[in-house]
């Protein structure tokens, strides 16, 4: 840690995660671990065609199989338009999906579900369902999605819930445009124009726990759902609507969750098990295989970006144009908001650019469904943005570290983009109150030995050349004026507390972080706070674990709640100490009157309040909606060795220096960064959805969709640079997402630094680097040489047309 400016007892301490021992000894239960009494096992039949109409669906033979209890399909399930996106209501994602349709829009779309006495029988029954398809022409090329004469995926009753650009008749799932200043004038003032195309593939979250959902009917006939969800309250709302069961008759319980990263911010399985349980009045269970997770859940939005940057002689940017085409895939979940964030989370970072235009479109294709994924559009935007900045600084003969320090947004400053780009509507204007990006840049540069290595093309052995690269990024902390989190708390007679939060710990440690915030207010050991999170019957509302909101938004709710509890404790203590509460101070688990030096313990206070005098339950609740979304900032540095013979890239070290305000728990904050970094490096170098000519994913397994292991992971260094965010709980901002934005551009910039090869499409494979090396003399590379066209790699074929 950089420095510790304020004396705090619990905040800023790396206490161990309150569920970690139970997890390490495997006492905790994940969704699939819950026993159900003679459940119906569910299995799903998926479309083998990317685009087709079901002309005939014969389930009779399957139904006749002993042990088959129910079969769901478009023939017997109500057609209710919705979005599976687990967002606030009304959702900014288009209502373009039904639970079961007779139109198939991608390989992996849902045809039918079988519920049977065993999984074996259910799978056997799937094979007995006969489906006749009228195969339609598919659309795989997102670039052509809006052309005349290409297939259309949606139309008819599909609609947007809020007034946004949505034109299914053009395959347009979302469109966003903002402009400031005069872009053409800006470019005409430029001495240098850098104009490039960038491309990023779809990717899987790869949370180790596959999606799963259970449902059962409780003793009083209510429906209980246990599921791998990041959004329990949204799940309750969406399930209620889809199975036409009143919301008050549904309870959603979030157990331990085996990672989410956005992949579980979707309501996919819950309506299915709910429907089976509700129709049959029996427990139901549905656990996806890894293959099903790859093919039928959600992906990061594949993206094409076109960037044009104009710069004056001194490097100042005279104009910046960012055009983005996102691939929604078959359904438009999160397509508008991810798209907005491509601009909204990137463009404010260099807020002095006067002439600016962002135009983005999300389009439908007959490929797997995109959704929320850690970084949420910012990852796509920063991949392009940071390479553009690298190129501009090289052209201007400036050091990228110093350039970023000069141009990034500063405390007390704002950007028009904050207001212009929101989540489905206009954004919220805000001033940055905390920003240590310059310090992050200095600390990171020092750690990676920037000056010693940058532009030096150091040789390592015969064939390898070293390079270092930088990327900067910001994110947000919650969605302003939309996200709400709530907490309630009560005091037990031994002086302990129950803390109930809607906030959804999916492995992030938010249960612990929120307990630390409460402990800081109440000055009690963290062990005395019993946390229960995310049970729609027991805990108050929270939007859930997304948009980097938990620490900042839910944390403020917990802080406000604990302060109300403190008020009640002081009031009771005043009675017991026969004084006015203004005279009292809260200390370690007790209240003291400094004048008389009399103290009364929490246990005495709680016992008195519970049993002895003016009895009442010491308890409180509080909600919080953020009015702004303070960005965390990060500077990320990659050191790579590039093998000039083979194009092989070895990332040797990766340094992140991050400003997340006051980290409530530094080890957990580091863990968020480290996990995001390795996910980001893995995406930069290896990960992509590959498709055959029919739009079928060809690598839906960990053997073929490789993610980094401990052996692949380079030396990771994480530096937390301290600031105090005045609007955050004890100075905190978010840290969950920002660190995934830098790895790909930092590595791409490092490769350029080493050998002068620009890779603008992910993943950065040895083949692409080799091709780049063999189109150019790598000794051309120097700090001031801009990327020329001949440095550009041949753009690889789209994955879906091999």
Partner 1 sequence: MTGSLHINGTELRASFRGNELLLDVLRNLGCTEVKEGCREGACGSCLVLLDGVLVNSCQVLAASALGREITTVKGLGTFHEPHPIQEAFVEAGAVQCGFCTPGMVLATFALLKKNPKPEEAEIRKALDGNLCRCTGYVKIIEAVKLAAERMAHHG
Residue 300 interacts with partner 1 (CB under 8 A): yes or no: no
- Closest contact distance (angstroms) between CB of 715 and partner 1 is 9
**Alpha carbon of residue 389 to chain centroid:** 25
Q: Does 210 bind partner 1 (CB under 8 A)?
A: yes
Interface residue with partner 1, options 4, 5, 6, 22 (CB under 8 A):
22
- Helices marked H in 299-410: 335-344, 378-396, 400-407
d(CA 589, CA 601): 6
Is 421 within 8 Å of 344 (Cβ atoms)? yes
Q: Which of 97, 257, 420, 529 binds partner 1 (CB under 8 A)?
A: 257
Binding flag, residue 468, partner 1 (CB under 8 A): no
| Cβ pair 502, 785 in contact under 8 A | no
CB of 529 to partner 1, least distance (A): 18
Residue 763 contacts partner 1 per CB under 8 A: no
Question: Binding residue for partner 1 (CB under 8 A) from 91, 158, 194, 209?
Answer: 209
282 binds partner 1 (CB under 8 A): no
For residue 16, state whether it binds partner 1 (rule: CB under 8 A). Answer: yes
Which residue number, 11 or 206, has a Cβ lying nearer to partner 1?
Answer: 206
In the numeric block, which tokens belong to residue 109?
């779309």
Alpha-carbon gap, residue 114 to 468, rounded angstroms: 54
Angle ∠(536,537,540) on CA atoms, nearest 5: 60
Q: Cα–Cα distance between 118 and 111 in angstroms, integer?
A: 20
Map residues 315-344 to x or -, x wherever contact with partner 1 holds by CB under 8 A: ------------------------------
- One symbol per residue from 718 to 747: x for binding partner 1 (CB under 8 A), - otherwise; what is it? x-----------------------------
Single residue of 192, 541, 686, 702 touching partner 1 by CB under 8 A: 702
Per CB under 8 A, contacts with partner 1 among 503-542 are 506-509
State yes or no: residue 193 binds partner 1 (CB under 8 A): no
CB of 435 to partner 1, least distance (A): 25
Query: 422 or 680, CB closer to partner 1?
Result: 680
Q: Which is nearer to partner 1, 17 or 103 (CB)?
A: 17
Question: Is 523 within 8 Å of 601 (Cβ atoms)?
Answer: no
Question: Which range of residues in 229-237, 472-480, 517-525, 706-714 is near partner 1 by CB under 8 A?
Answer: 706-714
For partner 1, which residue of 161, 205, 236, 559 counts as binding (CB under 8 A)?
205
DSSP 8-class letter at 161: S
- Site membership for partner 1, residue 675 (CB under 8 A): yes
Q: Are strands 598-601 and 715-720 parallel, antiparallel or unpaired?
A: unpaired
Q: Is 496 in the site for partner 1 (CB under 8 A)?
A: no
Q: Which of 679, 734, 741, 800 binds partner 1 (CB under 8 A)?
A: 679
What's the min distance (Å) between Cβ of 128 and partner 1? 20
Kindly compute the dihedral angle of the four CA atoms of residues 251, 255, 257, 262, in this order, to the nearest 10 degrees: 20
For residue 614, give the 3-state DSSP assignment. Answer: coil
Q: Which is nearer to partner 1, 32 or 190 (CB)?
A: 32
> Are the beta carbons of 740 and 379 closer than 8 angstroms?
yes
Shortest Å, Cβ 364 to partner 1: 28
Q: Which lies closer to partner 1 via its Cβ, residue 30 or residue 192?
A: 30
Binding of partner 1 by 172 (CB under 8 A): no
Neighbours of 32 (CB within 10 A): 19
**Does 118 help bind partner 1 (rule: CB under 8 A)?**
no
Q: How far is the CB of 674 from partner 1 (least distance, A)?
A: 3
Query: What are the backbone angles phi and psi of residue 646, rounded to the nearest 5°?
Result: -110, -15
- x-or-dash pattern for partner 1, window 635-674, by CB under 8 A? --------------------------------xx-xx-xx
611, 573, 620, 566: which is closest to 592 by C-alpha? Answer: 573
Judged by CB under 8 A, which of 2, 19, 117, 724 binds partner 1?
A: 19
**Contact flags string 237-256 toward partner 1, x per CB under 8 A:** -------------------x
Give the β-pairing of 284-287 and 40-46.
parallel
Q: Is 206 in the site for partner 1 (CB under 8 A)?
A: yes
Q: How far is Cα 225 from Cα 235, in angstroms, rounded to an integer?
A: 9
Q: How far apart are CA 707 and CA 695, in angstroms?
A: 22
User: Count of CB atoms within 10 A of residue 89's CB?
Assistant: 10
> Interface with partner 1 includes 66 (CB under 8 A)?
no
- Give the C-alpha separation, 184 to 166, whole Å: 28
| Options 409-417, 500-508, 587-595, 613-621: segment touching partner 1 (CB under 8 A) | 500-508
Residue 75 within binding range of partner 1, rule CB under 8 A: no
Cβ closest to partner 1, residue 6 vs residue 29: 29
What element of type H or E holds 356? strand 356-364
Residue 677 engages partner 1 in binding (rule: CB under 8 A): yes
> Do residues 728 and 661 make contact, with C-beta atoms less than 8 angstroms apart?
yes
Residue 472, token pair as written in the block:
């900067």
Q: Residue 172 belongs to what H/E stretch?
A: strand 172-180
122 contacts partner 1 (rule: CB under 8 A):
no
To partner 1, the closest distance from the beta carbon of 317 in angstroms equals 33
Return the closest-CA partner of residue 229 out of 558, 501, 19, 543. Answer: 543
Q: What is the CB-side half-sphere exposure of residue 435 using CA atoms within 13 A?
A: 26
3-state helix/strand/coil string of 557-588: HHHHHHHHHHHHHHHHHHHHHCCCHHHCEEEC
| Gap between the terminal Cα atoms of the chain | 48
* Span from 53-61, 166-174, 572-580, 711-719 in contact with partner 1 (CB under 8 A): 711-719
Which single residue is written with the structure tokens 């008759």? 249
> Strands 585-587 and 590-593: what pairing?
antiparallel
* Residue closer to partner 1 (CB basis): 97 or 638: 638
Q: Kindly state whether residue 299 participates in binding partner 1, applying the rule CB under 8 A.
A: no
Min. distance of Cβ 448 from partner 1 in angstroms? 16
How many residues bind partner 1 (CB under 8 A)? The answer is 58
Find the shortest distance in angstroms from Cβ 508 to partner 1. 7
Q: Please list every residue from 25 through 44 that binds partner 1, using CB under 8 A.
A: 25-30, 32-33, 35
Q: Does 12 bind partner 1 (CB under 8 A)?
A: no
Q: Are 46 and 107 in contact (CB under 8 A)?
A: yes
Least separation in angstroms between CB 795 and partner 1: 29
Nearer to partner 1, 709 or 801 (CB): 709
Q: By C-beta, is 123 or 625 nearer to partner 1? A: 123
**Nearest alpha carbon to residue 417 among 348, 336, 356:** 348
Q: Measuring CA to CA, which residue among 729, 662, 740 is closest to residue 2?
A: 662
The closest alpha carbon to 37, from 224, 211, 210, 258, belongs to 224
Residues belonging to the chain: 802
Q: State the minimum distance, in angstroms, from the CB of residue 339 to partner 1.
A: 25
List alpha helices for 165-269, DSSP H: 183-188, 232-242
Q: Smallest gap, in angstroms, from Cβ of residue 543 to partner 1?
A: 20
For partner 1, which residue of 144, 279, 290, 359 counts as binding (CB under 8 A)? 290
List the one residue from 177, 189, 280, 289 that touches partner 1 (CB under 8 A).
289
How far is 388 from 353, CA to CA, in rounded Å? 14
**Residue 390 preceded by cis peptide, ω within 30:** no
**Distance in Å, CB of 21 to partner 1, minimum:** 5
Residues that bind partner 1 (CB under 8 A): 14, 16-17, 19-30, 32-33, 35, 205-210, 256-259, 261, 287, 289-290, 506-509, 667-668, 670-671, 673-679, 701-703, 707-711, 713, 716, 718
């Amino acid at each position: 840690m950089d420095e510790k400016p304020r004396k705090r007892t619990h905040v800023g301490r790396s206490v161990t995660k309150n569920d970690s021992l139970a997890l390490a000894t495997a006492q905790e239960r994940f969704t699939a671990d819950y026993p159900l009494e003679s459940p119906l096992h569910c299995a799903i039949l998926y479309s083998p065609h990317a685009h087709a109409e079901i002309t005939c669906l014969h389930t009779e033979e399957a139904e006749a199989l002993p042990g088959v209890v129910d079969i769901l399909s478009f023939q017997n399930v109500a057609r209710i338009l919705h979005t599976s996106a687990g967002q606030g209501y009304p959702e900014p994602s288009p209502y373009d999906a039904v639970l079961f349709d007779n139109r198939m829009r991608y390989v992996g779309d849902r045809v039918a579900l079988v519920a049977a006495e065993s999984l074996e029988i259910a799978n056997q029954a799937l094979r007995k369902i006969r489906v006749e398809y009228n195969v339609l022409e598919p659309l795989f090329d997102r670039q052509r999605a809006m052309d005349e004469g290409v297939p259309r995926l949606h139309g008819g009753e599909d609609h947007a819930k809020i007034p946004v650009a949505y034109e299914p008749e053009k395959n347009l799932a979302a469109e966003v445009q903002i402009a400031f200043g005069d872009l053409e004038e800006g470019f005409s003032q430029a001495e240098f124009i850098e104009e490039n195309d960038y491309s990023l593939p779809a990717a899987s979250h790869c949370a180790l726990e596959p999606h799963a959902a259970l449902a059962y009917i409780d003793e009083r006939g209510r429906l209980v759902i246990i599921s791998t969800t990041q959004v329990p309250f949204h799940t309750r709302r969406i399930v209620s609507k889809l199975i036409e069961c009143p919301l008050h008759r549904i309870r959603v319980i979030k157990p331990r969750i085996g990672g989410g990263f956005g992949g579980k911010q979707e309501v996919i399985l819950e309506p299915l098990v709910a429907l089976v349980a509700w129709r049959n009045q029996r427990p139901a269970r549905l656990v996806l295989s890894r293959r099903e997770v790859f093919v039928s859940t959600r992906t990061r939005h594949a993206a094409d970006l076109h960037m044009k940057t104009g710069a004056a002689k001194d490097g100042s940017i005279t104009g910046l144009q960012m055009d983005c085409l996102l691939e929604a895939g078959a359904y438009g979940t999160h397509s508008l908001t991810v798209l907005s964030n491509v601009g909204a989370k990137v463009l404010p970072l260099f807020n002095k650019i006067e002439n600016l235009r962002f135009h983005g479109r999300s389009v439908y294709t007959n490929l797997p469904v995109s959704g929320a994924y850690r970084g949420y559009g910012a990852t796509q935007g920063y991949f392009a943005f940071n390479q553009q900045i690298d190129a501009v600084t090289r052209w201007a003969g400036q050091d990228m570290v110093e350039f970023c320090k000069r141009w990034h947004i500063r405390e007390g400053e704002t950007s028009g983009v904050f207001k212009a780009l929101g989540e489905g509507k206009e954004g919220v204007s805000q001033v940055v109150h905390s920003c240590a990006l310059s310090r992050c840049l200095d600390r990171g540069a020092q750690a990676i030995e920037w000056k010693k290595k940058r532009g030096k093309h150091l040789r390592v052995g015969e064939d390898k050349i070293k390079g270092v690269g930088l990327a900067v990024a910001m994110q947000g902390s919650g969605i302003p004026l939309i996200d709400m989190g709530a907490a309630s708390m009560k005091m037990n007679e031994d002086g302990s507390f129950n803390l109930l939060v809607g906030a959804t710990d999916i492995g992030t440690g938010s249960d612990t972080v929120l307990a630390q915030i409460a402990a800081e207010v109440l000055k009690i050991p963290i062990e005395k706070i019993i946390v229960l999170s995310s049970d729609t019957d027991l805990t108050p509302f929270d939007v859930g674990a997304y948009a980097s909101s938990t620490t900042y938004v839910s944390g403020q709710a917990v802080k406000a709640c604990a302060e109300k509890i403190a008020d009640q404790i002081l009031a009771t203590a005043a009675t017991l100490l026969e004084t006015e509460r203004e005279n009292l101070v809260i200390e370690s688990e007790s209240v003291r009157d400094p004048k008389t030096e009399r103290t009364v313990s929490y246990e005495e206070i709680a016992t008195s309040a519970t049993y002895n005098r003016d009895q009442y339950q010491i308890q409180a609740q509080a909600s919080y909606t953020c009015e702004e979304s303070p960005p965390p900032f990060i500077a990320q540095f990659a050191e790579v060795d590039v093998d000039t013979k083979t194009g092989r890239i070895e990332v040797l070290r990766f340094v992140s220096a991050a400003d997340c305000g006051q980290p409530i728990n530094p080890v957990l904050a580091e863990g968020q960064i480290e996990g995001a970094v390795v996910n980001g490096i893995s995406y930069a170098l290896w990960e992509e959805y590959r498709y055959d000519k029919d739009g079928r994913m060809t690598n839906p397994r960990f053997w073929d969709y490789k993610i980094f292991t401990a052996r692949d992971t380079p030396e990771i260094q994480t530096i937390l640079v301290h600031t105090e965010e005045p609007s955050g709980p004890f100075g905190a901002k978010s840290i969950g997402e920002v660190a995934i934005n830098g790895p790909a551009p930092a590595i791409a910039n490092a490769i350029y630094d080493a050998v002068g090869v620009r890779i603008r499409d992910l993943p950065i494979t040895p083949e692409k680097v080799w091709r780049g090396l063999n189109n150019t003399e790598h000794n051309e590379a120097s700090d001031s040489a801009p990327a020329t066209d001949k440095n550009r790699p041949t753009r690889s074929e789209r994955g879906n047309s091999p």
